[in-house]
Amino acid sequence: MGEYIGLDISLKDTTISVRRGGKRIWRGKCPSDPKLIAETIRKHAPNPQRVVFETGPLSVWFYHALVAEGLPAICIDARHAKAALDMAPNKTDANDADGLAQLAEVGFYREVRVKGFDSMLTRTLVTARTRLIRIATELSNQIRGLMKTFGLVVAKGGGRVFEANVRRLLSGHEQLAVIILPLLEAWRSIRGHAAELDRQLVAAARQSQSCQLLMSIPGVGAVTAASFTAAIEDPDNFQRSRSVGAWLGLTTRRFQSGEVDFDGHISRRGDAHLRGLLYEAATVILTRSTADSALRTWGLQLRAKIGFKRTAVAVARKLAVIMHRMLTTGELFNRSAGVPA
């Protein structure tokens, strides 16, 4: 008879619960180190059947490390686990570990596909670049706001134009310049680092056949293509291309009970950043793209009926379906092909 283990992982310690034959046989704590956890599990569970833990900041590291140690690690959806763990009268790490062990024993869980380290590197690169760009934007807005207080209105423009305008307005205002110039130097430095990460991302996209394939779609650039391929990893992870739209939270919620049956807003599940990138790509297709395609024609016709925002969401969902299909077949974007369902 095998053992079923639940892990409640925190940054410092991990609570471990071991069950066998419907009963808890051991429970304790261990430092949050996969090697130490593996040793503890082997000591108290010589025949582990499932080692279950929730999604979280450490889940990628723990999953791959425990699998490398030869343990049957399973990462489950934290939202799914929460519904079962809330049945405990008290919220403690020990009770959560017991609850996860029970889920492992009865098999009542939803396993999550854990990304590989290569995909996580690409995702980290995109996230870091996006964060630096946002920080630079916040700094430029802060500079504009501070200078506006003293009647110095910075004209529209970015990059070197923005810096030149700020320095020109600060001439003759030595006391204010002492305050603003450090912010301007920080803004300049952050923009330089963001540009470096942008070059790394573009270089990686040029070397990726999948990214080059997706970038044949009007409105899809290196950032969107790299983010999509990193999220999907293997197209065979989805049996149907239509499932990608639901996986990214671009399909409507449904509530049905008795005589009540209605659809609501989109679910917004999954990768929020990738969902935003697809929405931006859909916006470009509808507003700025000069290349005619069946997707753009369909979107413009739908826009006249339901408005721009809903149409952009619909185009983003169909774009996700098309991109997955392109990765599956290896074909370039066909502008004249009909829009899939």
**Coil vs helix vs strand at 103:** helix
Give the per-residue pLDDT at 339.
Answer: 58
DSSP characters over 47-82: SEEEEEEE-STTHHHHHHHHHHTT--EEEE-HHHHH
DSSP 263: E
Rounded CA gap, 273 and 260, in Å?
A: 33
Spatial distance between the Cα atoms of 215 and 150, rounded to a whole number of angstroms: 46
Helix (H/G/I), strand (E/B), else coil: 9: strand
Using CA atoms, how far apart are residues 114 and 52, in angstroms rounded to an integer? Answer: 13
Residue 338: the pLDDT is 59
Which has the closest alpha carbon to 295: 241, 244, 339? 339
| Sheet-wide strand order for 3-9 | 23-31, 13-20, 3-9, 48-54, 73-76
- How remote is the C-alpha of 187 from its chain's centroid? 26
> Is the Cα dihedral 28, 66, 226, 265 positive or negative?
negative
- Supply the DSSP symbol for 175: H
pLDDT at 110: 85
| CATH number of the 3-106 domain | 3.30.420.40
Q: What does residue 111 show for φ and ψ, rounded to 5 degrees?
A: -70, 140
Overall residue count recorded for the chain in this entry: 341
Here the tokens at position 263 are 């659809």
Q: What is the DSSP letter of 172?
A: T
pLDDT tens across the length of the chain (341 residues): 799 999 999 999 999 999 999 999 999 999 999 999 999 999 999 999 999 999 999 999 999 999 999 999 999 988 888 878 888 888 899 999 999 999 999 988 888 999 999 999 999 999 999 999 999 999 999 999 999 999 999 999 888 999 999 999 999 899 999 999 999 999 999 999 999 999 999 999 999 999 999 999 999 999 999 999 999 999 999 999 999 999 999 998 877 777 777 777 888 888 899 999 999 999 999 999 888 889 999 999 999 999 999 999 999 999 999 999 999 999 999 887 755 54
Alpha helices in the chain (DSSP H): 34-44, 59-68, 78-85, 93-106, 117-148, 160-170, 174-207, 209-214, 222-232, 242-247, 272-287, 294-306, 308-329
Return the CA Rg of the chain. 25
Structural domain boundaries of the chain?
3-106, 117-207, 212-329
Look at phi and psi of residue 157 and say left if phi exceeds 0, alpha if psi is from -120 to 50, else beta: left
